[in-house]
Structure 1
Amino acid sequence: MSNENKKALVVDAEVLVYNPESIKTLRKGGNILYIPWAVLLELEQLRGKPESRLEADEAATRIEEIRNQQDGTLRVFQNPSFANLDGLNRKLAKHHVIATAKDLQADMQKNKGKRGGKIDFESVEIVSREPIVRILAGELKIVAKDYLSDQVPVREYRTKEIRVPATWIYRESFPYREEFEKIEQNEGVICVSDCNPTGVFCKSFAAIRKGDSFKIISKEIEAAGIRPYSLNGNGPNWYQYIALEQLLDPEIELVFLQGGAGSGKTLLALASAVEQKNHYGRIVITRPMVHLEDEDNMGFLPGNVEEKMDPWLRPITQNLNLLKMAKKKGGEDQAASASRSFPISGGKKIVKKKRGVRGKAGVNMKDGAEGADKYDKIDFIPLDYIRGTTFHRTLLIIDEAQNLTPHQVKTIVTRAGERTKIILTGDLGQIDRRKMLNERSNGLAYGIATMNGPPAVGVTTFKDTVRSHLASLAEERM
């Protein structure tokens, strides 16, 4: 094969863990993938971290399989020279990436034009997820790029408004019209009509597209005693109406809820799960256990798996407590800011563990939320246990999905079995794994961008936060 346009690509561990499939992607077109020895050692260390162990294992397996093929497209590079690389640290794998690329550059220049030379590439590039590595490489005249294959454009998903006659509010549905801007299947819209006697158009109701028509969302919609909630009398929270309709529609198998803190996405997801427990048979809840400084502290915490997970599950258990309180309040208008109406008492758990239920992290919902007396458990399962498992007749909630990689989201969604619904909630403005993820490269953004449109998928982006004035102000300005 000709060397023309073939590249030597030096990769860091962050790329391999971000998406193990990068090992295949980067070698397309005859490119040669170079993995420094120090990067392999770092990959071994990443196998001990909670959010990367499965990806590190998969990357190592792929590397071994390709090496066994002996086709020369993947090479391990040992002992790069650090000569004339003042300031770089031999103890850092990321600096070995730069030194390796510099060595390959020197070899390429040395053998350029020689007949029978051993160099079988035309250029050298670094592929790294770390901006500092790319900056340092650029200063050394080495081309360095981010891994872009799974990144999606940053775009603002807004809920569209359409004008309709006021009399349509009494219908159950209305036809799709060409004059409406493009609206995807299951996409929610806010319907504006001249319902005001003064002739001023106002927001009258919400609807979602179903085929060639729109289904009007009932203003009485609720789940487990939870109804859409407005703050300070500012009118209905139409985003919550749309979200509840998508969550309760059995034809929608995958739902993305994206919004800021206090928008109600997690509580609505939980309420819909409680409401539909008999249909799906089982509720499974998980969320990434994002650690301070990306260190695995879970193993040092006392107790069993459930007790170790408690700090990460506290937002979930608090919302389950609110569902119980909603029932006691008789189903008043409760939703996103139930904490505003129902203060949470100092961490005291109302939801208690039940002995003898299946799984390591069962929660007894008896005498809990609306309809909870019809079933006995919700499973809290670590993310590592979720991936690789096929779920049947299950409603699976993945909270804080913005802290997952696209590869992790794909791994979970592609394992959905029969009669299974997956709900991913998150806030694209609150990404905690900044070393690896950003607004374009996280799993929630990737999932929304790639999956939005088919009849089995629904997406809601919340605009309103149902919080105190101060909390809303901080969310907007800080």
Structure 2
Amino acid sequence: MSKANYIYVLDTNVLLQDPYAVYQFQPHEVVIPAVVLEEVDSKKKNMDEIGRNARMIAKMVDHLREGGKLHKGVILEQGGLFRIELNHRSYQHLKHVFAEMTNDNRIIAVALNLQMEENEKQNGKQVVLVSKDALVRVKADAFDLRTEDFLNDRVIETDKGYDGYVEQFVDSAIINRFYKDGQVAVSDLKGSFYPNEFVILKDVMRTSSSAIGKVDLLGQNIKPLIGEHEHVWGIKPRNAQQKMALELLLRNDLPLVTLVGKAGTGKTLLSLAAGLLQTEDLHLYKKLVVARPVVPLGKDIGYLPGEKEEKLRPWMQPIYDNLEFLFDTKKPGELDRILAGMSSIQVEALTYIRGRSIPDQYIIIDEAQNLTKHEVKTILTRVGERSKVVLMGDPQQIDHPYLDEYTNGLTYAVETFKNEALSGHIKLVKGERSALAQLAADLL
């Protein structure tokens, strides 16, 4: 096929994920079915990220209209052709399989009719339906339509992201020198490392000799952890990754820490314990702010009954459960009385944090995998002087309709900041709630 022999038909979810997706397929032809514009139009009044993207799409299409009639096609800057498809809407070839004329099926019908038209030409083009909806791709495949996921917005190219630590088998002499001198040179090990990346040194002879170190800010040496952190507000790390997490959480020279892990790995409990220690005991920060998105972020909670605190309680209950454990409360309402007397602890929905300047605070953002890239940027750019932000969540448990494991804001922050000396990251892998909780996290 020649270089520009493809027609890409874009689904609505592609545009709502990336409003400028049409420019990613140049120099090929990009087709937007009319029904996609209808779906985008229905989202433009939303007061969230989806609504913002819908409005951006409208402005972009209106700008392209200056180049000619959209239904006939306009030339893009790099040679691609953009077109709004008003024809090819016939449902004749789909109705015997999918009787209901849903918007998804109408989009498939446009792609199928275009492909059938191209097949009749001597040098017809290949039609490709691009959608982030797996079921749309499955249904289109039933009609021998070529389909693709939209991967341009993926933060990582492969399924393997940054874990924050590596294991290396080394000669026992290197481990001995690490304990004797308090460091080993990065040049003594294989490969390259990121700033603040942890290294688990294991004896190549498979003895029990091992050590845990962390790459220094200059990336030249691997040094021991600052402390063993035996107890932090009654919490003791139970595995190597939890030790690494506490090291990052207790370092006041790292204003950004990201934690990922399945349910039960201790992300929230460790973050709260470290935050309480540094806020209540060491007074390094004026306030501990704990927030999580009311999914989807930006939606008003006004329709729930009661005052603001009552409305937020169901969404914030996982935070309160961990605080009850840390404060060792036994009676109903005891935690509320404790928090009422401690003005330095604030539990909020993320909706109420956006737009504020946040100095001298220890900020924990739970369920950060439900944030978009733009929302993470909005939060981090609001952080004031001498504040620390902890972003945590499980990228495999996403409630946002247009995000996945590879495109969410938490993964974006992890991969973007892994080269920066002012941030640290760790992936928690072992569940510590119970054997059943760990098994459920792995199997279900």
Query: TM-score normalized by structure 2?
Result: 0.78
Q: 1:100 to 1:402 in 2, by over 3 A?
A: same
CA deviation profile, 1:412-471 (whole Å, cap 9, x unmatched): 4455454443322122443445x5444434433343334323212211112332222333
What is the match of residue 217 of structure 2?
Answer: 210
Q: Within 5 A, what are the aligned runs for 1:283-298?
A: 283-290=288-295
- Residue 82 of structure 1 aligns with an amino acid whose one-letter code is Y
The answer on whether the counterparts of 1:169 and 1:205 sit within 8 Å (CA) in structure 2 is no
Determine what percentage of the aligned residue pairs are the same residue: 29
The answer on whether the counterparts of 1:81 and 1:99 sit within 8 Å (CA) in structure 2 is yes
What is the match of residue 61 of structure 2?
Answer: 67
- Residue 381 of structure 1 aligns with an amino acid whose one-letter code is A
What is the match of residue 36 of structure 1?
Answer: 33
Q: Within 5 A, what are the aligned runs for 1:61-460?
A: 61-69=55-63, 70=65, 71=67, 72=74, 75-78=83-86, 80-86=89-95, 87-88=97-98, 91-105=101-115, 108=118, 122-151=125-154, 152=156, 153-155=158-160, 157=163, 159-161=166-168, 163=170, 164-166=174-176, 168-169=178-179, 173-192=183-202, 200-211=207-218, 212-221=220-229, 225-230=233-238, 237-277=239-279, 278-290=283-295, 300-325=303-328, 348-352=332-336, 364=340, 366=342, 376-382=344-350, 384-386=351-353, 391-413=358-380, 415-433=382-400, 436-460=402-426
Distance 2:202 2:333 in 1: 43
Distance 1:90 1:388 in 2: 44
Distance 2:20 2:208 in 1: 51
The Cα shift of 1:96 comes to: 2.1
The Cα shift of 1:66 comes to: 1.8
Distance 1:464 1:405 in 2: 27
The answer on whether the counterparts of 2:395 and 2:410 sit within 8 Å (CA) in structure 1 is yes
Distance 1:160 1:455 in 2: 21
The Cα shift of 1:303 comes to: 2.2
CA deviation profile, 1:187-217 (whole Å, cap 9, x unmatched): 11234579xxxx9433455444332223322
Distance 1:179 1:261 in 2: 33
Distance 2:62 2:399 in 1: 37
Structure 2, unpaired ranges of 5+: 68-73, 77-81
Q: 1:345 to 1:123 in 2, by over 3 A?
A: farther
Give the aligned length.
Answer: 414
Distance 2:443 2:116 in 1: 50
- Residue 319 of structure 2 aligns with an amino acid whose one-letter code is I
What is the match of residue 437 of structure 2?
Answer: 471
Distance 2:232 2:189 in 1: 37
Equivalent position SS for 1:352: helix
Query: TM-score normalized by structure 1?
Result: 0.73
CA deviation profile, 1:245-289 (whole Å, cap 9, x unmatched): 112223323222122222211111222333344545444333233
CA deviation profile, 1:167-202 (whole Å, cap 9, x unmatched): 7447654443332443321011234579xxxx9433
The Cα shift of 1:385 comes to: 4.7
- The RMSD of aligned alpha carbons is 3.8
Equivalent position SS for 2:187: coil
Distance 2:335 2:37 in 1: 44
The answer on whether the counterparts of 1:206 and 1:217 sit within 8 Å (CA) in structure 2 is yes
Structure 1, unpaired ranges of 5+: 114-120, 231-236, 326-343, 355-362, 367-374
- Residue 335 of structure 2 aligns with an amino acid whose one-letter code is V
CA deviation profile, 1:384-427 (whole Å, cap 9, x unmatched): 45556664444332212333344544454455454443322122
